[in-house]
Amino acid sequence: KAIFTFKRSRDIKQCVEYNYVIESEGGFIFHSVAEMINHLNNIEMPAIAQLGKNAQNYGRDYLTMDKMVVRAVSDWDEER
C-alpha cells in the first residue's frame, strides 16, 4: 500500500514509514495538510496504481524477514 506521511519536524516524529517512502517511491511526503489534500484531490488512478506496484516491489525486494535481519546486522557492524 502507498504511504502518505508528513515531513519530519520537531513536532512530527517519523520512523520506518518515512524511509520506506523515500526508498521505495511508494508514497508521498507532504509539508502540510493542505498540500496533502490538494495532491490527493488531483492524483489520477494510474499514479495510484504505480505507487502500489512500487510498494509491492520494495516489500518483495527488501522487507522479507531474512533481508531485514541482514540489513540490521550490516548497519550494526558499520556503527561499531
Is the pLDDT at 80 greater than 70, yes or no?
no
Euclidean distance between CA atoms 12 and 8, whole angstroms: 5
Q: What confidence score (pLDDT) does residue 16 get?
A: 59
What average pLDDT does the segment 13-42 reach?
Answer: 81
pLDDT grade for 44, boundaries at 50, 70 and 90? very high
What are the grid coordinates assigned to 4, written together?
502518505
Look at the block and give the residue holding cell 507532504.
30
Average pLDDT of the segment spanning 38-67: 89
| d(C-alpha 52, C-alpha 72), whole Å | 25
Q: 36: burial class by Cβ within 10 Å (0-12, 13-18, 19+)? A: middle
What pTM does this model have? 0.64
The one-letter amino acid code at 29 reads: I
